[in-house]
Chains A and B, each alone.
Chain A
Amino acid sequence: MADNADGPRIEELHADLNAAQRRLQLVLDAAGATCGWEWDISKKRFVADALFAGITNQDPVELADGVSPDRFFVSIHPEDLKRVKIAVAGIIAGSEVFSREYRLLRADGGYRWVRASGRAIRDAEGEPAKFVGSLIDITEQKRVDEQLRIAQSAGGIGTFEYIVGYGTISVSEQLCRLFGLHPNKMLPVRTLNGLIHPDDKPVIDLTRPDELQSEGNIEFRIRRASDGQERWLARRGEYVDDIHTDGRRYVGVIFDITEAKHTQESLREANDMLAELARESLRERDRVWKNSRDLLVVIDTAGVFRDVSPSWFDILGHAPDKVTGSKVIDAVWPEDRDQAKSDLRKAAENIHTEIEVRMTHEDGSPRTISWMTSREDDRVYAYGRDVTVEQQQKVALEETEAQLRQAQKMEAVGQLTGGIAHDFNNMLTGVIGALSIIKRRIAARRTEDLDKFIDAATSSAHRAASLTHRLLAFSRRQSLDRQSVDVKQLVTSMEELFQRTLGEQIELAINVAAETWKAETDANQLESAILNLVINARDAMPNGGQLTIETNNVAFTEADLAKGETLEPGSYVVIAVSDTGTGMSQATIAKAFDPFFTTKPIGQGTGLGLSMIYGFAQQSGGHARIYSQLGMGTTIKLYIPASHATGEQSAFEKEEEAILPRGKGETILVVEDDDSVRMLVVDTLKELGYRVLEAIDGAQALPFIEGKGRIDLLVSDVGLPGLNGRQLAEIAIAARPALNVLFITGYAAAAAARAEFLAPGMEMITKPFAIDDLAQKVTEMLKPSNPR
Chain B
Amino acid sequence: MIADTTDLNELERDALTELVNIGVSRAAASLRKMVNKEVLLSVPSVEIVTRRSAASLIGQRESESLIAVQQQFDGPFSGRALLIFPQSNGLSLVRAIVGDEMQEAELLEMEDEALAETGNVILNGCLGSMANMLQHSLKMSLPDVRRGDSTLLFDAHNSSRDASFVLFLYINFSVRERNIRGYIAMIMDLPSLEKLKQLISDFIERVMNETD
Contacts and interface: CB of A to CB of B under 8 A. Distances in A.
Interface of A: 69-70, 73, 82-83, 85-90, 93-97, 120, 122, 126, 163-168, 170, 181-182, 186-191, 193-194, 206-210, 225, 245-247
Given A86-B15, A165-B181, A189 B211 contact: no
Interface in B57-80: 57, 60-63
A764 B144 CA distance: 149
B26 interface: yes
A97 B14 CA distance: 14
Q: Which of A94, A182, A246 has the most CB of B within 10 A?
A: A94
Contacts of B25: 94-97, 120
A48 B18 CA distance: 25
Interface in B25-41: 25-26, 28-30, 33, 40
A186 B172 CA distance: 13
B121 to A, nearest CB: 12
Given A94-B26, A168-B170, A245-B174, A186 B44 contact: yes
B61 A190 contact: yes
19 contacts: A69-B211, A73-B211, A85-B211, A86-B15, A89-B210, A90-B22, A94-B25, A95-B18, A96-B40, A122-B29, A165-B179, A167-B172, A168-B44, A190-B61, A193-B60, A208-B63, A209-B86, A209-B181, A210-B179
Nearest to A208: B63
B18 A163 contact: no
Interface string B1-12: 110000000010
A146 to B, nearest CB: 20
A194 B18 contact: no
Given A83-B14, A166-B172, A247-B179, A90 B63 contact: no
Interface in B118-165: 129, 132-133
B26 A86 contact: no
B177 interface: yes
Contact of B204 (A69, A86, A97, A191): A86
Contacts of A187: 45
Contacts of A210: 179
Contacts of B50: none
A90 B170 contact: no
A188 B211 contact: no
Contact of B177 (A182, A188, A190, A246): A246
Nearest to A126: B29
A206 to B, nearest CB: 5
Given A96-B28, A209-B181, A167 B22 contact: no
Given A93-B22, A93-B133, A181-B2, A86 B60 contact: no
A540 to B, nearest CB: 108
Given A122-B29, A206-B61, A87 B18 contact: yes
Contacts of B14: 83, 86-87
B181 A167 contact: yes
A181 B6 CA distance: 13
Main secondary structure of the interface of A (DSSP, over half): mixed
Given A163-B172, A188-B47, A190-B61, A93 B129 contact: yes
A225 B29 contact: no
Nearest to B42: A97
Contacts of B47: 188
A190 B2 contact: no
Contacts of B179: 163-166, 210, 245, 247
Given A70-B212, A186-B45, A190-B57, A94 B129 contact: yes
A189 B208 CA distance: 34
Nearest to A210: B179
Contacts of A191: 1
B184 interface: no
A125 to B, nearest CB: 10
A166 B2 CA distance: 20
Given A95-B25, A126-B33, A85 B181 contact: no
Contacts of B133: 89, 93
B21 A90 contact: yes
B98 interface: no
B19 interface: yes
Interface of B: 1-2, 11, 14-15, 18-19, 21-22, 25-26, 28-30, 33, 40, 42, 44-45, 47, 57, 60-63, 86, 129, 132-133, 170, 172, 174, 177, 179-181, 183, 203-204, 207-208, 210-212
Contacts of B21: 90, 95-97
Given A96-B25, A186-B45, 16 more contacts: A70-B212, A86-B18, A87-B18, A88-B211, A89-B133, A93-B22, A93-B132, A94-B26, A96-B28, A97-B25, A165-B180, A166-B172, A168-B44, A188-B57, A190-B61, A206-B60
Contacts of B60: 190, 193-194, 206
B40 to A, nearest CB: 8
A327 B19 CA distance: 95
A50 to B, nearest CB: 24
A181 B42 CA distance: 24
Contact of A82 (B1, B11, B210): B11
B134 to A, nearest CB: 10
Contacts of A95: 18, 21-22, 25
Contacts of B15: 86
A89 B18 contact: yes
Contact of B181 (A166, A182, A190): A166
User: 9 tightest CB-CB pairs across the interface, nearest first?
Assistant: A90-B18, A96-B25, A165-B179, A89-B207, A95-B22, A94-B22, A95-B21, A168-B44, A167-B170
B11 A90 contact: no
B170 to A, nearest CB: 5
Contacts of A166: 44, 170, 172, 179, 181
A637 B183 CA distance: 122
Nearest to A91: B22
Given A85-B208, A94-B25, A188 B18 contact: no
Contact of A85 (B33, B57, B207): B207
Q: Which of B1, B22, B28 has the most CB of A within 10 A?
A: B22
Contacts of B61: 167, 189-190, 206, 209
B3 to A, nearest CB: 10
A247 B19 CA distance: 27
A170 B45 CA distance: 10
Contacts of A170: 44
A187 B1 CA distance: 11
A94 B30 CA distance: 12
Contacts of A163: 172, 179
Contacts of A190: 57, 60-61
Contacts of B40: 96, 245
A676 to B, nearest CB: 132
A225 B33 CA distance: 45
A298 B54 CA distance: 72
Given A94-B129, A95-B21, A70 B211 contact: yes
A86 B2 contact: no
B19 to A, nearest CB: 7
A349 B180 CA distance: 84
Nearest to A248: B179
Contacts of A96: 21, 25, 28-29, 40
Nearest to B30: A126
A208 B19 CA distance: 31
A186 B33 CA distance: 30
Q: Which of A90, A126, A170 has the most CB of B within 10 A?
A: A90
B129 A86 contact: no
Contacts of A181: 2
Q: Which of A70, A85, A194 has the most CB of B within 10 A?
A: A85
